[in-house]
Amino acid sequence: MPPQAIQPTLVKPQLAGRRRTWWRDERLHYVLMFTPALLLLIGILYPFSLGVYKSLTNEKLYLSSIQFVGLRNYVDLFSEAAFRESLLRTLGYVAAVLLVQLPLGIGIALLLDVKSPLRSFLRSTLVLPLLIPPIVAGLMWKTMMQPASGVLNWFIRSLGGQGIDWLSHPSSALMSVVLIDTWVFIPFVVLILLAGLQSVPEEVVEAVRVDGANELQAFLHVKLPWLLPYALLVMLFRIPDALKAFDIIYPATRGGPLDSTRLLHVMAYQEAFRWSNIGTAMAVLFVLWFISYVVSMNVMRLWRRRSGMIQGD
Amino acid sequence: MTSGNWLRGSLVALGYVVFVAFILFPIFWIFLMSIKDFRDIIAYPPTFVFTPTLRNYTQVLFGADTPGAATMVSDYTRFFRNSVIISGGAVALAALVGVPAAYALSRARFKARHSIAFTFLSFRFAPELAVILPLFVIYRQLGLYDTYQGMILAHQLIALPLVIWIMLSFFNDLPLEIEEAARVDGASVLQTLLFVALPIVRPGLASALIIAFIFSWNNLIFGLVLAGGQTQPATMAILQAMNFDQIKWGEMAAAAMVSAVPGMLIAVYFQRYLTRGLTMGAIK
């Protein structure tokens, strides 16, 4: 809007005569308000780009001579079986997390969408795991999963079953971590999907009901398609979080037994602090960062397209 | 029809029971452990009936196991105090820096604002070590390793994107008319933010700060890499209790319960804006 044209009629008389000086320019104010955040952003981006450089060196924690080695770290990593296994394991972990948490999340969201007097109690219960430190969750489950004396195996045995090795055997450790991850993050998944279910327009459900659809059909043909952008939003957050899983795995298994839960983020930590190979660790981290970036940018693009289509904005 | 309703009702009830058991049992179990003495903890089959004790809590909170030690600050107390200082400081700084920044991003019309906003968002998706490992090397050179200042600065990686994006979503929802009226009356941009916009989005601000606090409080990896003996947060205390061969199960459980308190309080009292906060404003 042209300020000169409007202001004389709206502005208080004593202000109208005041000259607009440069320090009252609102653009300057906005820049000033943004500057501290920009400085912090640079403070974050600087170590990040320093890390990119470090991934191209042979830096060790307690070694003063650092040499530029080009892409050597990356080439070495991909020719190393342990790294390739860890990479595949990480991708498998992400897939397992999504395959378990999306259907389970939809189920629980449907359950909590049912009108009942217990609903507000159930919602309060739901969010508890999400707000507990993941390390505490890892510890709680590790305790319950003790093969010989844990309460889970006691429960299974008293039902007549065979105890499970849970975290202490390579064959079951990773799935046990997926279970813990599910306990911690299922509230987040459900909260998003529940918001989706509650935004389903009543008229549409009513309309297909009138046309003779039963509850299952109404779910499959109306609610499920409606939930797609919400499921994409779940993936947008859960995929990067699962790719960089650390806070649960570290207390629960430290990457063991026999590296069976050694995902890339854990591997990077161990390379840095067990073997003090900063260069290698940074190379692992940038492979991880690259995957996370490419996947989340694409999911975000999909999500924006789908949510724009359905919500019409 | 009625038999269908009955079936549906019992399925829902069964679902409720399984769901509540799945969510609550681990918390209940660790709570039981925190009020057991050692013999009850290691008992097999697990004991549900026992004489409760508060020793683990007094040990964790006051370190008063040995006579005369009550005046000494226990390790756990120090860890909790560190967590309060680091997370409190980090959230305060993030609010001070992030709220004006979010307002500027929401109101000023300049080209780069979308890419700047997305740069902040992208930190949510990056592996934390990619930033804090180089930061570890820099901190050791600058003397910021194992200091509160260094920890508070590093925690901006968690807190700042949350505060900026949540506040951005709330500011974008505000009708512009009220603010324009204030501006026409001669208020500066900062005055408009402080006295007009901010009072309206107070619930949004509260949710942003609380979620940032919880995420910062819950974090493990920052303390693991950037904190030494002086500034270790509560999550590290729990990890250390697990390090020794003879694990102090009871104390560990009590420390875990205490460190979970801020989050659990919020879960009960503060639900309305949780989804919006956790999705960084993507869901209203």
Summarize pLDDT for B250-282 with one digit per residue, the tens: 888 888 888 888 777 776 677 777 778 888 888
User: Average pLDDT in the A207-229 region?
Assistant: 88
The answer to whether the CB of B215 falls within 8 A of the CB of B278 is: no
Q: Which residues of B touch A158 (CB under 8 A)?
A: 45
Same domain, B46 and B87: no
Task: Give residue A310's pLDDT band: very low, low, confident or very high (50, 70, 90).
Answer: very low
Task: Give residue B105's pLDDT band: very low, low, confident or very high (50, 70, 90).
Answer: very high
Higher pLDDT, B45 or B28: B28
pLDDT higher than threshold 90 for residue A281: yes
A and B: number of Cβ contacts within 8 A: 265
Contact assignment for A268 to B129 by CB distance below 8 Å: yes
Same domain, B31 and B159: no
The C-alpha atoms of residue A263 and residue A285 are separated, in whole angstroms, by 11
Quick check: helix, strand or coil at residue B54? Answer: coil
User: Average pLDDT in the A120-144 region?
Assistant: 86
Same domain, B86 and B46: no
Q: Which CATH architecture has domain A72-311?
A: Orthogonal Bundle (1.10)
How many CA atoms within 13 Å lie on the side-chain side of A45? 11
Same domain, B156 and B234: yes
Of B64, B95, B113, the residue at which a domain comes to its end is B64
The C-alpha atoms of residue A300 and residue A237 are separated, in whole angstroms, by 10
User: Average pLDDT in the A139-163 region?
Assistant: 89
Residue B73's pLDDT is: 53
pLDDT digits (tens, 9 = 90+) for A50-95: 999 999 998 887 777 888 998 999 999 999 999 999 999 999 999 9
Residue B146's pLDDT is: 93
Residue B283 resides in a domain: no
Choose from B20, B23, B198 for mutation: most chain A CBs within 10 A.
Answer: B23
Same domain, B59 and B169: no
Higher pLDDT, A234 or A11: A234
Same domain, B123 and B168: yes
Same domain, B88 and B219: yes
Decide if B244 touches A, using CB distance below 8 A.
Answer: no
Residue B70 resides in a domain: no
Residue B150's pLDDT is: 94
Residue B252 resides in a domain: yes
Residue B49's pLDDT is: 83
Same domain, B44 and B113: no
Q: How far is CA B161 from CA A36, A38, B4, in A?
A: 13, 12, 49
Contact assignment for A154 to B44 by CB distance below 8 Å: yes
Rounded (10°) CA dihedral A197, A198, A202, A206: 40
Residue A20's pLDDT is: 61
Domain boundaries defined on chain A: 3-54, 72-311
Q: Say which of A33, A43, A128 has its CB closest to residue B100.
A: A33
Same domain, B130 and B170: yes
Q: Which domain holds residue B32?
A: 2-64
pLDDT higher than threshold 90 for residue A209: no
Give the dihedral sign, CA A243/A248/A254/A256. negative
Contact assignment for B264 to A293 by CB distance below 8 Å: no
Higher pLDDT, A91 or B111: A91
Q: Which of A178-187, A210-219, B22-31, B149-158 shows the lowest mean pLDDT across its residues?
A: A210-219
Nearest in space to A90 (alpha carbons), one of A204, A206, A249: A249
Same domain, B243 and B155: yes
pTM of this structure? 0.88
Task: Give residue A288's pLDDT band: very low, low, confident or very high (50, 70, 90).
Answer: very high
Higher pLDDT, A80 or A214: A80
Q: Is A71 exposed, middle or buried (0-12, 13-18, 19+ CB in 10 A)?
A: exposed
pLDDT higher than threshold 80 for residue A42: yes
Same domain, B112 and B238: yes
pLDDT higher than threshold 80 for residue A188: yes
Of B64, B94, B115, the residue at which a domain comes to its end is B64
Contact assignment for A246 to B12 by CB distance below 8 Å: no
Of B64, B94, B116, the residue at which a domain comes to its end is B64
What total of structural domains would you count in chain B?
2
> Which range has the top average pLDDT, B112-121, B191-200, B274-283?
B191-200
Same domain, B144 and B39: no
pLDDT higher than threshold 70 for residue A311: no
Decide if B74 touches A, using CB distance below 8 A.
Answer: no
Decide if B35 touches A, using CB distance below 8 A.
Answer: no
User: Following DSSP, what letter does each residue of A148-209 receive, concatenated?
Assistant: TT-HHHHHHHHTT-----GGGSHHHHHHHHHHHHHHHHHHHHHHHHHHHHHTS-HHHHHHHH
Q: Which of A12-16, A111-115, B22-26, B134-138 shows the lowest mean pLDDT across its residues?
A: A12-16
Q: How far is CA A175 from CA A31, A130, A229, in A?
A: 49, 20, 27
